[in-house]
């Protein structure tokens, strides 16, 4: 573990319960609490929870908040007409590369909550502040390191959370991909597993008691290992592996997050995206022969070579799966070969996701 790793408000709880800790993006985080496979299945079949307090919540407020975000993000926050609605978007550089992928919640034309990735948080804040200064936008950006975040995911997640969290016993829950404020909590119906559930942002001082109450209600603590296999099955990109500043969202299976409908909306990276059409696509990959897919493996298709960006064993499918960036002409359902330890093994491309709401889709 890096001596410079930061600790979330739940760090002592993880250590006390025997979690195996690793350095992740500068944070000391639990990779598992015992069996990673059991944690994965708990989320698919019942309910599991993750400490995601290493991610950064940002509050953007002020009279220019909406126009500022419309110029900052590839997706268009003008879609968010109702309070609490959420939007997934990439934040691009001028070359069309992905600085980060993030979620924005709208609570008013002058009131937004943004959640960014842990490994890019400092870079994201610096980029946003540079854009604020450069545009002269009348907004205030506030980092909320005083908060903790707990994600509760799985088919029984909401039912179990209602028994453990007092505010949920009487609170009308948000619809999928939206959020509500309930006292000092922000309750979002979002997640990173392909299952229904909640992501709850709360004061750091309440994190330990809420975690313990959820555990007593039968919600299983889960670490980064299960989080990665769950998001992989759900077809969800991981920043730094499946896309980064050198890769366009058009080449990363994220073209649906780029909104070009308003011809008058000039956002950072738009000109680059319009000048250079997608040349590659991101597909799912299932290994037909024995082996395990990992990132950066060469893949041979009829249209040319590609490369895996993520890969692992799927506990739900009981097979090795991954993402592969391939030439644009490659389609889902094609037989391909992947080079593993010097051998070319049989594999098949598939449409993402592999699993959704506990059900295999391939």
Question: Which tens digits make up the pLDDT trace of 52-62?
Answer: 999 999 999 99
- All residues at 6 or more sequence positions from 137 whose CB lies less than 8 Å from its CB, including other chains: 62, 64, 67, 68, 131
CB atoms within 10 A of CB 208: 16
**Torsion angle, CA of 228/231/234/240, rounded to 10 degrees?**
-100
Average of pLDDT values for 7-27? 97
- The C-alpha atoms of residue 66 and residue 342 are separated, in whole angstroms, by 52
DSSP 8-class letter at 302:
T
The predicted pLDDT at position 2 comes to 42
192-225: pLDDT as tens digits: 999 999 999 999 999 999 999 999 999 999 999 9
User: Does the structure show a pLDDT above 80 at 1?
Assistant: no
What is the CATH topology of the domain spanning 279-360?
A: Elongation Factor Tu (Ef-tu); domain 3 (2.40.30)
How is domain 1-230 classified at the architecture level of CATH?
Answer: 2-Layer Sandwich (3.30)
Residue that the structure tokens 């028994």 belong to: 163
Least confident of 16-20, 128-132, 208-212, 275-279: 275-279
- The C-alpha atoms of residue 153 and residue 170 are separated, in whole angstroms, by 20
- All residues at 6 or more sequence positions from 285 whose CB lies less than 8 Å from its CB, including other chains: 293, 299, 308, 311, 321, 322, 323, 324, 336, 338, 347, 348, 349, 350
1-230 matches 279-360 in fold: no
Domain assignments of the chain as residue spans, ordered by start: 1-230, 279-360
The predicted pLDDT at position 171 comes to 85
Mean pLDDT (the chain) is 96
């Amino acid at each position: 573990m890096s001596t410079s790793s930061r600790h979330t408000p739940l760090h002592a709880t993880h250590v006390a319960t025997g979690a195996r800790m690793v350095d992740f993006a500068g944070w000391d985080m639990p990779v598992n609490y015992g069996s990673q496979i059991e944690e994965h299945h708990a989320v698919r079949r019942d309910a599991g929870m993750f400490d995601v307090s290493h991610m950064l919540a940002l509050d953007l407020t002020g009279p220019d908040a909406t126009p500022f975000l419309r110029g900052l993000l590839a997706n268009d926050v003008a879609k968010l007409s109702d309070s609490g609605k959420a939007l997934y978007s990439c934040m691009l550089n001028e070359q069309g590369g992905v600085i980060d992928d993030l979620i924005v919640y709208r609570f008013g034309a002058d009131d937004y909550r943004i959640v960014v990735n842990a490994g890019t948080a400092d870079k994201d804040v610096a980029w946003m502040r540079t854009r604020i200064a450069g545009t002269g936008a009348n907004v205030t950006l506030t980092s909320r390191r005083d908060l903790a975040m707990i994600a509760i995911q799985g088919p029984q997640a909401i039912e179990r959370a209602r028994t453990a969290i007092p505010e949920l016993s009487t609170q009308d829950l948000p619809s999928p991909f939206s959020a509500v404020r309930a006292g000092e909590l922000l309750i979002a119906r979002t997640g990173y597993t392909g299952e229904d559930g909640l992501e709850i942002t709360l004061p750091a001082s309440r994190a330990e008691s809420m975690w313990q109450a959820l555990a007593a209600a039968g919600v299983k603590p889960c670490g980064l290992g299960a989080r990665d296999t769950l998001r992989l099955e759900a077809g969800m990109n991981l920043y730094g592996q499946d896309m980064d500043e050198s890769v366009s969202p058009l080449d990363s299976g994220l073209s649906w997050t780029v909104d070009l409908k308003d011809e008058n909306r000039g956002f950072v990276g738009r000109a680059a995206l319009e000048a250079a059409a997608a040349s590659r696509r991101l597909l799912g990959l299932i290994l037909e022969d024995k082996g395990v897919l990992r990132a950066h493996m060469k893949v041979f298709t009829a249209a040319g070579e590609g490369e895996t960006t993520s890969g692992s064993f799927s506990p739900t499918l009981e097979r090795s799966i991954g993402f592969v960036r391939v030439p644009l002409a490659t389609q889902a359902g094609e037989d391909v070969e992947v080079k593993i330890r010097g051998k070319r093994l049989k594999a098949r491309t598939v449409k993402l996701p592999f699993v959704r709401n506990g059900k295999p889709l391939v």
